[in-house]
Amino acid sequence: MSEVIVSSVGFLKQEITAGPHRLYADEPKEAGGNDTGPDPYSLLLAALGACTSMTLQLYARRKGWPLEKVQVSLRNERIHARDCEDCASEDGMITRIERYISLTGPLDEEQRARLLEIAQRCPVHRTLTAEISIKDFLD
């Protein structure tokens, strides 16, 4: 189990401590923040992108495939559930994440297709597409 500690260090600026690492989150100025770090949704997308890239690199290395570089671009938007062809929900709004994966290296089409399948198996992807339980406690 990993632990992350988030502490407010200003109005919207947050200090994030993950083990020995420290980073900041904030909101853009137009949302009332000072733009001193990525907003929370950008951090969520970064987690998915980093996990995707790491998973693909590990898989390709294990297979001995010539994957040289992975770049993952992500964006999210809120859409009406009725506009989503492959969603279980039919009412209300849902969050759609678009993930664009760029693979560099002399991979054949079969390897590229397999890596796209593997991307859907990265742990963060599985977490985001599974049922999640969040339990809150006051200190």
Q: Tell me, what CATH number does 45's domain have?
A: 3.30.300.20
Mean pLDDT, range 31-35, rounded to an integer: 95
In a domain, 137, yes or no: no
* pLDDT for the residue 37: 96
Q: Residue 125: helix, strand or coil by DSSP? A: helix
Mark whether 31 and 2 lie in a shared domain.
yes
Residue with the two structure tokens 């590990």: 58
Question: Residue 42 is inside which H or E element, if any?
Answer: helix 40-63
In a domain, 66, yes or no: yes
Q: State how many domains the chain has.
A: 2
What global pTM score does this model have? Answer: 0.89
Mark whether 8 and 44 lie in a shared domain.
no
Range of the domain at 1: 1-37
pLDDT one-digit tens code per residue, 95-139: 889 999 999 999 999 999 999 999 999 999 999 999 999 999 998
In a domain, 80, yes or no: yes
Mark whether 113 and 80 lie in a shared domain.
yes
Residue 87 has pLDDT above 70, yes or no: no
Residue 94 has pLDDT above 90, yes or no: no
In a domain, 52, yes or no: yes
Average of per-residue pLDDT values in the chain:
93
